[in-house]
Structure 1
Amino acid sequence: MQFWARTASLAAISCFFSLISRWDASLLFVLAGLVLFQLVGLIQFLFVRRRTAPWWIGYVVGTLDIILLTVLLITPNPFAQEVAPAAMQLREGSFKFLLIFVCLGALTLSTRLALYLGALAALTWAIGVGWVIVHPGTVIPATNLYSLPLTERLNLYLNPNFVDTFAQATNVLVVLIIGAIMALVVSRSRHLSEDYVKAERARANLARHFSPNVVDQLATDDEPFGPVRRQEIAVLFADIVGFTHYSEDHPAEAVFELLRQFHRRMEQVVFDHNGTVDNYIGDCIMATFGVPQASHDDATRAIQCAGAMIATLGDWNVQRVSRGYPPLDVRIGVQYGAVVLGAVGSERNLSVAVVGDTVNVASRLQ
């Protein structure tokens, strides 16, 4: 983002100067300087894109940008047909271009870099102004400029060798303030990014247990599971017959691969019927229908889910047999009735627990 913002900024500046300036060697020198800045940014971009850039590359590039730009803004153009006094270079408002590079540093989302670039820009500009002041013939006010009569101030402003030290000190103060504001913006952005990551992590935790449409609802509620309460829901248990013997006779990798494939297929069937995966207990999957919100067809969807599980297992067994693996058998138990329902866990990993005789009956039916 920083590279493309840099590219767009330099392109806009190039077009602006190309339109308002006379095409001569002086303009070509300015455009060549802009191309140089683009090449420096391109080198940094290539490093970062390959993920081989050291942490200090942003500081090196930022330092090079600001020092080089300050020199170009304060020193006369070597190809200019008429050379103005050094003091005149400070009056053309070119200081504002330094602010672009200070703002570009904020796009790295580094608070330290934003502060560093703001301080560096203020320092280099102050040094540049000091270099102009020590030039022979440079005029600076001997007292507070605004305490002088208007006529004397106008005479000073009309002098091409005059340097308004108050205005230049203001420029230094402004760039320091902007650097600090950019650092605050970066810090705020980083906090927002961290909050977003936490929200996505919480959403991912929900997605492991709930169907996508339920996740959307839960993600927007402050208390997604509501208070502890009694509620009628459907509970489903399904597990693999003979899995204990299978796990004893096969390598651990094969056992867990079978579990993953079984859970993945059964979980999708549950989600297709708007159910909730309550828990994985070894080779067993426990699902509920009516959590967190009860519906009039919870029992119907649970029975339909059980039938779809059998159909999915049949298709999977066809694939297994064709590859030389034995078919699997699954037992399923479903019960509908009252349970005690409530949220357990912490803010980072919140889940819902259902307790009651309905759960026990479903498990025994299985």
Structure 2
Amino acid sequence: MLAPLLRASPFPRIEDISTPHASEPTAQSIEDELTREELRGLTTIFLGRSTVLAILSLWALTLPFERSGGYLLALLLFGLLGALPRLLVKHGLKQKIILALFVLLDVSVLTFLLIVPPPFYVDDWTPQINLRLPNFLYVGIYIIGMALSYSPWLVLLSGFMAAVAWSIGFAWVASLPASVLSSSRKTLDTGMSSEAVIASFLDRNTVSLTIWYNQLLFIFLVTVMLTVTVWRSRQLVRKQVAVERERSNLARYFSPNIVDELSNDHSDLDESNTQYAAVLFADMVGFTSISEKSSPNEIMLLLRAFHSRLAKVTFQHGGTVDKYIGDSIMVHFGTPEPRNDDPVRALACAEAMVGEIEKWNEERKVEGLAPIQIGIGLHYGEVVVGNTGHTRRLEYTVLGDTVNVASRLERLTRGTPSHVMVSNDLVSAVNSRGADATDIMPGLYPDTSRRVRGRTTPIAVWCRAAKT
């Protein structure tokens, strides 16, 4: 139990703390989403098919009904075949079995429509002529349409079923009594004259096996290319999700700007360099007394809530969270790439941190909880930036006197009504960039009574006046 100072429980519930990684996609969730995308693909295929069939039906209606009625009936049947598997799968029936069955029916009806002469063609038109027409390309269009399902196995199945159905239809036409079989090999073996070859080709009863071979090759190539394309697209989705998962995991330990550098495989982070940066330290005032009256789990929950709020504000202002040190947070602006407005954003971030804690305290007051106090120190100057530590456990950080000064400025807030102590160097840097430090942080004023300990060279200090 906690002391009356903290009332009931000053710590957030575990479910109230932000955990971005909790919603990270798992391998199973990715596969589930791809399965749902396949179902949505069936809807796309159905809509596309319905549009094409509607256009063909309007064209057929321009002909006498006694000649186009059977064709319209076949189009209607083809449309129903596209709707039924979508409805059955949507209601949870065995997806692959249902789809395989309807793909077989689909290509069977399509083959019938492409091979059997429709009644509105000219008289004495033969199925043998249909085998040589470019209407066979509709088989390829059908397979291409199946790619919209986003399912490699369905594209592969469609190509296989199309090859089987077309071969059966071709064999049926070839077996008709009037059919005359021919092929390029037969033409070469028999030594037919050019006139005889042309005459055979123009014969309305000729069935060319060579054409059938080419048609099967066409189906095979289209199917393989589309299957590989759909498979690769799914792999790219998985790869992209994996990259985002890695970025999400990195973001739990690094600032977004550092994550971007790591994700882009920039080697510059391994090279130390000297530059100017703004350094900010923020600390929970009175944390020692709070921790004496709290359990380890409660302390951890409070720190996570405190750090998460400050980190959120830091990221909003383009800062880098260097590290969490107990109840403190170290932030710098100007890394990994310095920007002209680094001191401006640092001062604005400090002001926003104070506002964030005040907002949090209002929420805690409603719950009858004790307020949380914060102390912030800010300095701007030259630092050394780079990785430190072992090659297997690196830490991207900034080092130098600027860091020490910022930390000591934060300690100056102890026992004072001011939440923020800012070095004159940072205030001057803000003003030199065309901004007004007192506009960014209202109530900021120079305090000559403050002195940074451990310094031979005095540093002028500015304080943020406490609200009354």
TM-score of the pair, normalised by structure 1 = 0.78
Give the residue type in structure 1 aligned to 2:273.
R
Partner residue, 2:104: 63
Q: Counterparts of 1:246-257 in structure 2 under 5 Å?
A: 249=294, 252=297
For structure 2, list consecutive stretches of 5 or more residues without a partner in the other structure. Answer: 1-40, 412-468
Q: In the aligned structure 1, how far is the partner of 2:370 from the partner of 2:76?
A: 68
Q: What per-residue deviation string (whole Å, max 9, x for no partner) do you get for residues 50-109 of structure 1?
A: 787735554444333223322333345589896744424423433222112211222333
Amino acid across the alignment from 1:230: N
Equivalent residues of 2:132, 2:211 under 8 A apart: no
Q: Could you tell me whether the CA contact under 8 Å between 1:62 and 1:101 is conserved in 2?
A: no
**Higher Rg of the two aligned structures:** 2
Aligned pairs for 1:1-366 (under 5 A) are 1=41, 3-16=43-56, 18-19=58-59, 22-46=63-87, 54-55=95-96, 57-75=98-116, 84-141=125-182, 144-145=186-187, 148-201=192-245, 204=248, 209-210=254-255, 214=257, 218=261, 223=266, 225-231=268-274, 232-241=276-285, 245=290, 249=294, 252=297, 258-259=302-303, 261-280=305-324, 283-336=327-380, 337-342=382-387, 353-357=396-400, 359=403, 362=406, 365=410
Question: Using the alignment, how far apart are the partners of 2:407 and 2:75 within structure 1?
Answer: 73
Deviations 1:153-175 (A, max 9, x none): 34334433321221122111111
* Alpha-carbon separation, structure 2, partners of 1:316 and 1:301: 22
Q: CA deviation at 1:17?
A: 5.7
CA–CA distance in structure 2, aligned partners of residues 251 and 33 of structure 1: 74
C-alpha change, 1:41 and 1:19, in structure 2 (3 Å) is closer
**SS state of the match for residue 339, structure 1?**
strand
Distance, in Å, in 2 between the alignment partners of 1:24 and 1:247 is: 92
Q: For each residue in 1:187-245, what CA deviation from the matched residue of structure 2 results, as whole angstroms up to 9, or x when unmatched?
A: 3323433443344445546766546xx58975995527544213343332334345574
Q: Residue type of the partner of 1:8?
A: G
8 Å contact kept, 2:57–2:75: no
Query: Which deviates more from structure 2 when the two are superposed, residues 166-175 or residues 258-267?
Result: 258-267
* Worse-matched range after superposition: 26-35 or 119-128: 26-35
Instruction: Extract unaligned runs of 5+ from structure 1.
Output: none
- With the length of structure 2 as denominator, give the TM-score of the two structures: 0.63
Q: State the SS of the aligned residue for 1:292.
A: coil
Task: Point out the more displaced range, 184-193 or 218-227.
Answer: 218-227
1:275 deviation in Å? 1.0
* Contact 1:233 1:339 (8 Å CA) reproduced: no
Partner of 2:34: none
CA displacement at 1:145 relative to structure 2: 3.7
Q: Which string of whole-angstrom CA distances, capped at 9 and with x for unpartnered residues, describes residues 325-345 of structure 1?
A: 221122334454423414999
Output the amino acid matched with 1:268. K
**Deviation per CA, 1:254-302, whole angstroms, max 9, x where unpaired?**
7676555434432232133321223445654332211111234434533
The secondary structure found in structure 2 opposite 1:330 is strand
| Deviations 1:19-73 (CA, angstroms, capped at 9, x unpaired) | 3661424534333433433333334445666787735554444333223322333
How big is each residue's C-alpha offset from its partner over 1:308-331, in whole Å with a ceiling of 9 and x where there is no partner? 212221122122202322211223
- State the distance in 2 between where 1:344 and 1:188 align: 40
Q: CA deviation at 1:115?
A: 2.8
Aligned-partner SS, 1:286:
strand
Q: Is the 8 A contact 2:269 2:396 kept in 1?
A: no
Partner amino acid, structure 1, of 2:383? A
Question: Structure 1: how far apart are the matches of 2:114 and 2:229?
Answer: 28
Cα pair distance change 1:251/1:66, threshold 3 Å? farther
State the 1:4 CA deviation.
2.4
Q: Contact 1:29–1:79 at 8 Å: present in 2 too?
A: no
Over 3 Å counting, the alpha-carbon distance change for 1:49 and 1:199 in structure 2 is farther
Distance 2:363 2:248 in 1: 30
Amino acid at match of 1:91: R
Contact 2:45-2:149 within 8 A present in 1 as well: no
For 1:107-140, what per-residue CA distance to the aligned partner results, in whole angstroms no more than 9, with x for missing partners?
A: 3333333333223222221122112212222211
Range with greater deviation from structure 2 (124-133 or 297-306): 297-306
d(CA) in 2 for partners of 1:258 and 1:55?
Answer: 51
| Alpha-carbon separation, structure 2, partners of 1:181 and 1:135 | 34
Contact 2:258 2:320 in 1 (8 A): no
RMSD, aligned α-carbons: 4.0
- Give the fraction of aligned pairs with identical amino acids, expressed as a percent: 32
- Tell me if structure 1 keeps the 8 A contact 2:280–2:378: yes
Question: What's the CA shift for 1:355?
Answer: 4.8
Counterparts in 2 of 1:181 and 1:249: CA distance versus 1, 3 Å: same
